[in-house]
A and B are shown apart, each in its own frame.
Chain A
Amino acid sequence: MKAEYINPFVQASFSVLEMVLGNRPSQGALAVQPSTFASEQCNVVCGITGQVQGQVIYGMSLMTADKIASTMLGQSIKTFDALAASALGELGNMISGNAMQMLSELGWECDITPPTVMRGSNVKITTIAVPAIVIPLKLEQGDLFITVGLQGRK
């Protein structure tokens, strides 16, 4: 996977997270994700289509998911319901969408698909683009792992 695909997601995640969650994340070292890896407890999956295609997966613990949803809703959530799930889905949608603007400025026109929110550990995820890259972010709400698996359209 081209390194150029990563930077838009790093930039978009910083600006969107700071605006939506009110705190600036700190970034750990980028790492290569094996093509098949164990999921986090909560995952938001966004599909990317167009001149660059694949998936972007926003993974976090259940506790982090609760805290992020609580921050977005302005009140602490009692149960992780449809509203909380849609808040996380929309967070993934906003980071992915903002990244599309930067990918477009680099010359790749792409679109995103509606996000899917999955909860449950022990799920094995296989990305099509190999290798995928993980962007680890630390937030006040906990750790967020953004796995970017993209490839140019053949």
Chain B
Amino acid sequence: MTNINLSFAALTAEDKSVTIGSQPSLVSALTGVQSTLSKKILITDDALFMRVILRNFLVSNGYEIVAEASNGREAVEKYASCKPDLVFMDITMPEMDGIAATRAIKQHDPAANVIMCTAMGQKNMVMEAIQAGAKDFIVKPFNQDRVLESIQKVIG
């Protein structure tokens, strides 16, 4: 049974027009399978440039971008509505910075997975981020392998 579901999931990933709607039980099974195949990520950065670069890179590596936020407040709102598996969080942003946003997200969902991705790498900033609940800390400009390693480490 599992094998059948998996092959259907692979099919739908290739071709969204495959008709599966007539079997509700199969549909729900498929959605379950698909969500483990493609992890959902929320990108937070005030720089449009960085959001575009991160999106292209993550999508080309098989991840799904469920939302983008351009400041901490937006990130908190979008986390609640999109329930992503992972959040990429910048620190230096207008309105609400990434440390405050991480605290707010962790308060709402203690199991939230947040990776800090910021230009500042000083020790006290790393410590503040970890204390706020971030699970890893990447300094920009980032190395692509480092980003993939970090995702693996945090959400497998």
| Cβ-defined contact, B119 with A98, below 8 A | yes
Contact with A along B69-94 (1 / 0, CB 8 A): 00000000000000000000000111
| Cβ-defined contact, B120 with A111, below 8 A | yes
> How many A-B contacts if CB must be within 8 Å?
67
- Chain B's interface size range is 20 to 34
In chain A, positions 88-121 with a C-beta closer than 8 Å to chain B are 89-90, 93-98, 100-101, 103-105, 109, 111-114
Instruction: Looking at the assembled complex, report how far the CB atom of A4 sits from the nearest CB atom of chain B, in whole angstroms.
Output: 16
Residues from chain A with a CB closer than 8 A to the CB of B141 are 16, 19-20, 94
Contact with A along B15-57 (1 / 0, CB 8 A): 0000000000000000000000000000000111110100000
Q: Answer yes or no: A73 CB below 8 A from chain B CBs.
A: yes
Q: Answer yes or no: B121 CB below 8 A from chain A CBs.
A: yes
Report the Cα distance A113→B122, complex, angstroms. Answer: 15
Report the Cα distance A113→B94, complex, angstroms. Answer: 8
Q: Answer yes or no: A82 CB below 8 A from chain B CBs.
A: yes
Residues from chain A with a CB closer than 8 A to the CB of B50 are 86, 90
Question: Which B residues have a C-beta under 8 Å from some C-beta of A?
Answer: 46-50, 52, 92-94, 118-125, 139-141
A98-B139, A111-B120 given; name 6 further pairs at CB < 8 Å.
Answer: A20-B141, A86-B49, A94-B141, A98-B120, A100-B119, A114-B94
